[in-house]
Amino acid sequence: MSVEKYVPQIRFKEFSREWDKMLLGSLCLIGDIDHRMPESKKTGIPYLMTGDFYGINGLDFNSAKLISMDDYEQLSKKIKPELGDILFARYASVGAVRYVETDTKFLISYSCAIMKTNNTTYGKYLFYFFQTERTQGQLELDINTGSQRNIGIDSLKSLLVALPKPAEQTRIGNTFQKLDSLINQHQQKHDKLSSIKKAMLGNMFPKKGETTPEIRFKGFREVWEEKALGDYTIFRRGSFPQPYGNKEWYGGEGSMPFVQVVDVSKELSLVEDTKQKISLKAQPLSVFVPKGSVVVTLQGTIGRVAVTQYDSFFDRTILIFQSFSKNTDSYFWAYTIQNKFDLEKKRAPGGTIKTITKDALSSFEVLIPSIEEQTKIGNYFQKLDALINQHQQQITKLNNVKQACLSKMFV
């Protein structure tokens, strides 16, 4: 093989030697616990499965199944997870890995392989090596297909690993660990703000049977006005030009954004650039929606709400609120609709709304405060969403940096 294949594209300047080629089985003891499902206990030793993996390197001990000490000792006679080991998912989400950073006594299901690195420098290095697209592609070739995708222990042992000297392994591992730490910090802030938003949505809008919320801004005491949605607002579906697949209806000079369900994000906004642009010829046949309008998806992911950030045309799978019987703050209305659909989803069988008719939507009961209180509430949640989005953007940016580095700092 050529030298280039065993020298990464990007490396720290103090390192120049070609990397070694080794079989994974020569670096680690690889095995799994006995293939028996133990009985659950109310107290005992955590017995984790791949479903207990979360985040970048999280292991959920709080929700894990518990087993007896006798089962723990019987099942772990061959091998057991310890500090510094790598856990590798062999079934279901094949290729997912975790690096054990705890000395907590636990077991991992036989759906995972345990790789014992003896807490050496290459333990952390291998954890990131497994996350590279190149390594995942190599593993994909050895996956057994059938009723359930899986990869055998012998296939893992024969995986070829490009391995630098210990000092370079440590530098690489530390670099990616710092990146993961930054991603985790933003994720924790994102999750905390999302929890605050969820709690405040429950407290700053009246609960069922109430006409005032539990938490209000200072100076507001009036009872909220109850209205049927159909009496308070005029709404309509978007539309699309026919024939739908005809190219002359899309793109070209003078084309404008054509919004579909996939363009409505989770945080009350549209994507910056829609996948489709509607042509000048088709625009008179579709529904124009000005900037600042409130829309809600009625197909696919039903109940996703947005306030439009640009003039655009809308697909028929989206409902547009066109006008109101009294002055209404767009963002307050957006959060009202979002809250309403969330409640309807909870009442629906399985927690999912399959479809919703115009009559059903018209009969939705909504509660409306004064425009001044609406504006306060809308601004509050808008600022919360802006903070949540900032952290999400940082998470996305850092993940992109990590993926780019994984592709260039490993062989």
Reported as a single tens digit per residue, the pLDDT across 290-301 is 999 999 988 777
Reply yes or no on whether the pLDDT at 244 is more than 60.
Answer: no
Q: Which long-range contacts (CB under 8 A, 24 or more apart) does 23-26 make?
A: 23/157, 23/158, 23/159, 23/160, 23/161, 24/115, 24/126, 24/156, 24/157, 24/158, 24/159, 24/160, 24/161, 25/156, 25/157, 25/158
At residue 314, φ and ψ (nearest 5 deg) are -125, 140
Rounded Cα gap, residues 255 and 371, in angstroms: 36
For the full predicted model, state whether its pTM sits above 0.95: no
pLDDT interval class at 1 (50, 70, 90): very low
Provide the β-strand partners of residue 46.
66
Q: Which pLDDT score, from 0 to 100, does residue 28 have?
A: 93
Q: Which pLDDT score, from 0 to 100, does residue 2 have?
A: 44
Tell me if 76 sits within 8 A of 38, measured CB to CB. no
Rounded Cα gap, residues 130 and 108, in angstroms: 18
Rounded Cα gap, residues 28 and 34, in angstroms: 19
Tell me if 45 sits within 8 A of 68, measured CB to CB. yes
Reply yes or no on whether the pLDDT at 206 is more than 70.
Answer: yes
Tell me if 107 sits within 8 A of 45, measured CB to CB. yes
∠ Cα 64 70 75 (to 5°):
70
Average pLDDT, the chain: 90
Q: What is the pLDDT of residues 309-337, one digit of tens each?
A: 889 998 888 889 999 998 999 999 999 99
Residue entry with tokens 């906004």: 269
Q: Which pLDDT score, from 0 to 100, does residue 3 have?
A: 45
At residue 290, φ and ψ (nearest 5 deg) are -75, 160
Q: How far is CA 300 from CA 261, 277, 317, 338, in A?
A: 7, 21, 8, 16
Reply yes or no on whether the pLDDT at 245 is more than 80.
Answer: no
At residue 183, φ and ψ (nearest 5 deg) are -60, -45
Name the CATH superfamily, with its identifier, for domain 225-368: DNA methylase specificity domains (3.90.220.20)
Are 17-163 and 225-368 equal in CATH topology?
yes
Instruction: Report the range of poorest mean pLDDT among 141-155, 164-178, 243-257, 267-281.
Output: 243-257
The strand order across the sheet containing 112-116 reads: 29-31, 112-116, 86-89, 97-99
Rounded Cα gap, residues 170 and 273, in angstroms: 41
Higher pLDDT, 266 or 213: 213
Q: How far is CA 400 from CA 169, 179, 256, 395, 404, in A?
A: 22, 11, 30, 9, 6
pLDDT interval class at 350 (50, 70, 90): low
∠ Cα 125 129 134 (to 5°):
160
Peptide bond into 8 cis (omega under 30): no
Residue type, 324: F
pLDDT (mean) for 1-11: 71
Q: Just give the CATH number of 17-163.
A: 3.90.220.20
Q: Which pLDDT score, from 0 to 100, does residue 329 have?
A: 94
Tell me if 273 sits within 8 A of 314, measured CB to CB. no
For the chain, which residues make up each domain, given as ranges? 17-163, 225-368
> Rg of the chain over CA atoms, in angstroms?
27
Per residue in 381-402, is it b (16+ CB within 10 Å) or e — as a string?
A: bbebbeebbebbebbeebeeeb
